[in-house]
Homo-oligomer: A and B are copies of this chain.
Amino acid sequence: MANNDVKLIGAWTSPYVMRAQIALNLKSIKYEFLAEKTGSKSELLLKSNPVHKKIPVLIHDDKPICESLVIVQYIDEVWSSGPSILPSDPYDRAIARFWAAYLDDKWFPAIKGIGMAKEEEARKAAIEQVRQGLAYLEEEFVKSSSKGKDFFGGDKIGYLDIAFGCFLGWLRVTEKMNNMKFLDEIKTPNLFKWAEKFCADDSVKDVMPDTDKLLEFAKILIAKIRAPQN
């Protein structure tokens, strides 16, 4: 489907931007990617998202839509002829929305917390939170894929797959930086398989960042944040 009127303001390092990209790919929507430069904000971004001044912003027919989960739902509702992203059953939708909110409010902040922790105790607490979240999601996967499906959403990637899967790049970076494994075949066998299938999917493989490239970016970012302020 050709849509010259679809633009996405983003950056390759942002998991939130990746959510919008995967949703657009699933619906076969062509879009123009407007890359923000690290450390500065374009006028278009400031104009399009004056409240948060953050990526991603989807611009459709000159109208801006902000916040990644809002964007994914918008894409699903506007291009409703494509494969459905949200589950069709209201209860399943509620469960998917619940876990997506949990990931954003609790789990990914814990991942960031590992990198940002100044004391060992805080770092350990953050690691434990990340592990707890993965245990929850492993359990949820078993529940929702009780018919042996590949994804949370069933046979195809859905809302919770997108919400969770976009963090895999940063999870792997965190594993490498801390010399540990979060997703493994013993503790999280289902998530381990799910992650492999998610990353190999046509809608994902070209937008999932290379772990080593993201690791380099992360090292620079953390060094900047930790540098003494003038």
Contacts and interface: CB of A to CB of B under 8 A. Distances in A.
Interface of A: 51-52, 60, 63, 65-67, 69-71, 73-74, 77-78, 90-91, 93-94, 97-98, 101-102, 136
Q: At the interface, is chain A mostly helix, strand, loop or mixed?
A: helix
B136 A67 contact: no
Number of copies of this chain that the complex holds:
2
Contact of A93 (B74, B94, B97): B74
Given A51-B102, A51-B136, A136-B51, A93 B67 contact: no
- Which of A52, A67, A70 has the most chain B CB within a 10 Å cutoff? A70
A101 B63 contact: no
Given A63-B91, A78-B90, A90-B78, A70 B51 contact: no
Contacts of A98: 65-67, 70
A181 B136 CA distance: 44
15 contacts: A52-B102, A60-B91, A63-B91, A65-B94, A65-B98, A67-B98, A69-B101, A70-B98, A73-B94, A73-B97, A74-B90, A74-B91, A74-B93, A77-B93, A78-B90
A74 B74 CA distance: 17
